[in-house]
Amino acid sequence: MVIAINTKALLPGKMEGYGYYIEEIFSRIALNHPEHQFYFLFDRPFDQRFIYAANIQPVIIKPQARFPLAWDIWYNLMLPRVLRKIKAEVFVSTDGFCSLRTKVPQCLVVHDLAFLHHPEFISKSHRNYYLKNTGKFLKKSKVIATVSEYSKQDIVEKFKIDPAKIHVTYNAPGSLFQQLSYDERELVKEKYSAGCEYFIYTGSIHPRKNPINLLKAFSRFKKRQQSSMKLVFAGRLAWKTDEFTKLLSSFRFRNDVILTGYLEKNELAKLVASAYALVYPSFLEGFGVPPLEALQCGVPAIVSNNSAMPEVGGDAYLYIDPENPDDIAEKLMLIYKDETLRSRLIENGKRRVQLFNWDESAKKMWGCIELAASAE
């Protein structure tokens, strides 16, 4: 079988959620199925390290598809030509977009419908493109894969899609995220936080991730506890961050807030494993990988009580109302003061994280590919 994969999110030095998902899932699938031919489709020069197996052939399709007009050209004009040329029998699109101009069966991966729930956090042109086309993409695809039961039900309710067409392939924590020894943690703290304990947020920084309320909550925590605790933001400044940077510039506890910028995964894993707790106050997540990675490191996670996060975390997370900085601050203080609670969350986390692994998710995705390829 000839299988084409949309791998545009495999970006060296810029790898984030979609990119890691592609890497974990499709490296396994290609290695586990050497009898099949895989084409990885990029929109710019690629890094050879993303060609994980001998049965993967990279193809660059122009133009770089990063805005609506380019998306339309890439998916509906250039992509169909390439699929015909390579005689693709199925196309897997990993970013929620698919081609409306090809007869090749398509498996569409949709992580969430954030553009419907929080349209204020994206540009008008992007929002309009999603509103105009997402329903068409979902109907055009033979099979839909998503990352949680929450996202599955959201797709069913918002777009009236048959639930039988949608398959849940959970995310999982990366293997680099592991517990560190006491001495290793101390070295990391010396490097990043002057030897002090710290709360950590990981991921790109933009309004949907709620960095403003996290800063406000940390301010309340510092005023009440007067500890040396730091707050680390480990991720790049993405979009619509003017309000965040403006608040941070005049923030009373600015010297206790650390911005690392983008970090490669091996360094990020050490930083997470050395934290006192991870804080993830996102307004919406289709899954939410960073808190699960913290659990695998033996670090408790404070997360929002919305969308897919209770489904993923169960009794292993400490939940917050992301709209309420006072509630976030209360939970920061609670985990800071209550060692029994912190220890219980860590133990619960060790059990919870066992429910998610990339090998199982790759098997389920392979099932989705086979279904799409055989669909009439």
pLDDT digit string, tens, across residues 104-129: 999 999 999 999 999 999 999 999 99
- For residue 120, the enclosing domain spans 2-172+357-374
Give which of 223, 205, 206, 196 is closest to 325, Cα–Cα.
223
On whether the CB atoms of residues 98 and 143 are closer than 8 A, the answer is: no
pLDDT of residue 226: 84
Q: Is residue 177 part of a domain?
A: no
Residue 16 structure tokens? 């984030």
46, 151: one domain: yes
188, 258: one domain: yes
58, 160: one domain: yes
Q: Is residue 350 part of a domain?
A: yes
Low-confidence ranges of the chain (pLDDT < 50): none
pLDDT of residue 156: 98
105, 230: one domain: no
Amino acid of residue 374 = S
* Single pTM value for the model: 0.95
Q: Is residue 158 part of a domain?
A: yes
196, 166: one domain: no
Measured distance CA(278)–CA(293) in Å, rounded: 10
Integer-rounded Cα Rg, in Å, for the chain is: 21
pLDDT of residue 239: 85
- CATH code (residue 161): 3.40.50.2000
134, 160: one domain: yes
Q: Is residue 52 part of a domain?
A: yes
Q: Is residue 282 part of a domain?
A: yes
List, for residues 286-315, the tens digit of each pLDDT value: 999 999 999 999 999 999 999 999 999 999
Q: Is residue 250 part of a domain?
A: yes
Q: Is residue 201 part of a domain?
A: yes
Q: Is residue 193 part of a domain?
A: yes
213, 135: one domain: no
Measured distance CA(25)–CA(365) in Å, rounded: 8
42, 88: one domain: yes
87, 13: one domain: yes
pLDDT of residue 120: 92
191, 294: one domain: yes
162, 29: one domain: yes
CA distances from 113 to 96, 130, 145, 233, 240 (A): 9, 9, 13, 25, 19
98, 210: one domain: no
Q: Tell me how many domains the chain contains.
A: 2
